[in-house]
């Protein structure tokens, strides 16, 4: 038992170190001279980007908040916004990606008296609704692209888009069918067996939580689904404003296509902390899709989006300081931040 406790503490310290190292590497890799140069050019307009992302993050928070059901009264939207910001920051800048961020969200919610089962279910449920709404918007963006593109182009592009579109549609049907099926708990003790066995039990339990949320809280599920759809729509306006600053007036559907495309590319490099280099590649690819291939435009878009990320990193740090409680600090020492007396 003592050996397991020591190994758990060492693992937690390693994870914390990995997060701080990843954030440090990300900040060091940012060319702040170029960032300040671009910020000087656009001036106060940069705060329009911050405002857009703030509204998007607020909608994402509301999408999670409704998943808490009746127990959401125990925590304000403001406090949940800060907890979500901390979790999303950690999720972006550590090798475990969203898993690490969601685990931290779970720990930060414990002092508020919300049941552990409901906390886990809300996190899993909000992640499911976020992904499903994202897939829907990506499907609509692909349909819009196909309805407006020149079909005399390469046959590879034509059939590739058709294949991808059908894959998205089938994928969503399969996911909703999977959610509608009944699940039975494993009835096993997750502490038994080796590490892999415990991991399998944990994944099964999360699957049960996701299905229970969909089947037992359908109203909250669809409300969360709608809020996350709005979250993605508002977030995609960042591309719209940046390109408008540069003199490119694009339709809102095109900005949605750009944002969904970058997210799809970033998901391939989710294990890379901060997606260093991946996001820039995604920006370049999606801009080329809509016919913008100027290197200067790509650089400005990438720099401004990175500047926005740096801003929210510091906001995430401030949020952690504000939401941190003495019980939460025990997470780093004992692995259980809940009072036992």
Beta strands in 139-224 (DSSP E): none
Mean local confidence (pLDDT), 171-198 = 71
- 103 three-class SS: helix
pLDDT tens digits along 266-283: 777 655 555 566 777 888
Q: What is the mean pLDDT of the chain?
A: 80
Beta strands in the chain (DSSP E): none
State the pLDDT at residue 330.
46
Residue 177 has pLDDT above 70, yes or no: yes
Q: Which of 94-98, 223-227, 239-243 has the lowest mean pLDDT?
A: 94-98
Q: Which of 8-22, 207-221, 285-299 is predicted most confidently?
A: 207-221
Q: Which two tokens stand for residue 195?
A: 């590490």
State the pLDDT at residue 338.
38
Q: Which two tokens stand for residue 239?
A: 């591309």
State the pLDDT at residue 176.
92
pLDDT greater at residue 71 or residue 92: 71
Distance CA 169, CA 163 (A): 10
Q: Which two tokens stand for residue 9?
A: 């503490």
Torsion of CA 14, 15, 16, 17, to 10 degrees: 50
pLDDT tens digits along 52-86: 999 999 999 999 999 998 888 999 999 999 999 99
Task: Kindly report the number of other CB atoms within 10 A of residue 83's CB atom.
Answer: 24
Angle in degrees, CA 127, 227, 135, rounded to 5: 55
Q: Which of 105-109, 157-161, 190-194, 226-230 has the lowest mean pLDDT?
A: 190-194
State the pLDDT at residue 339.
38
Q: What is the pTM of this model?
A: 0.81
State the pLDDT at residue 168.
92
pLDDT tens digits along 109-137: 888 888 888 898 899 999 999 999 999 99
State the pLDDT at residue 333.
42
Per the rule left: phi > 0, alpha: psi between -120 and 50, beta: everything else, 4 is: alpha
Angle in degrees, CA 97, 253, 127, rounded to 5: 25
**Domain residue extents for the chain:** 46-332
Tokens 């719209």 correspond to what residue? 240
pLDDT greater at residue 57 or residue 159: 57
Q: Which of 31-45, 148-162, 306-320, 325-339 is predicted most confidently?
A: 306-320
């Amino acid at each position: 038992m003592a050996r397991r406790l020591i190994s758990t503490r060492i693992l937690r310290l390693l994870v914390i170190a990995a997060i701080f190292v990843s954030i440090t590497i990300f900040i060091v890799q940012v060319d702040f001279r170029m960032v300040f140069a671009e910020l000087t050019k656009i001036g106060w307009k940069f705060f329009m980007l911050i405002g857009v992302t703030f509204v998007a993050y607020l909608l994402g928070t509301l999408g999670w908040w409704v998943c808490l059901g009746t127990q959401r009264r125990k925590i304000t939207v403001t406090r949940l916004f800060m907890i979500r910001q901390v979790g999303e920051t950690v999720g972006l800048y550590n090798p475990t990606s969203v898993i690490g961020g969601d685990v931290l969200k779970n720990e930060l919610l414990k002092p508020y008296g919300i049941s552990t089962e409901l906390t886990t279910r809300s996190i899993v449920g909000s992640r499911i609704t976020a992904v499903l709404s994202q897939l829907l918007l990506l499907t609509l963006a692909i349909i819009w692209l196909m309805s407006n593109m020149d079909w005399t182009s390469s046959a590879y592009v034509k059939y590739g888009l058709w294949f991808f579109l059908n894959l998205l549609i089938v994928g969503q049907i399969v996911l909703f069918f999977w959610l509608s099926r009944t699940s039975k708990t494993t009835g096993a003790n997750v502490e038994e067996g080796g590490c892999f066995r415990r991991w399998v039990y944990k994944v099964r339990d999360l699957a049960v939580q996701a299905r229970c949320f969909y089947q037992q809280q359908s109203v909250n599920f669809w409300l969360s689904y709608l809020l996350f759809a709005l979250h993605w729509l508002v977030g995609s306006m960042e591309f719209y404003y940046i390109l408008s600053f540069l003199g490119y007036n694009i339709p809102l559907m095109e900005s949605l296509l750009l944002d969904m495309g970058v997210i799809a590319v970033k998901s391939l490099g989710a294990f890379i902390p901060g997606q260093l280099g991946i996001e820039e590649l995604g920006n370049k690819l999606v801009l080329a899709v809509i016919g913008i291939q100027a290197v200067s435009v790509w650089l400005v878009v990438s720099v401004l989006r990175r500047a926005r990320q740096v801003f929210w990193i510091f906001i995430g740090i401030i949020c952690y300081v504000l939401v941190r409680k003495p019980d939460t600090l025990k997470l780093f020492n004992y692995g259980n931040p809940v009072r036992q007396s």
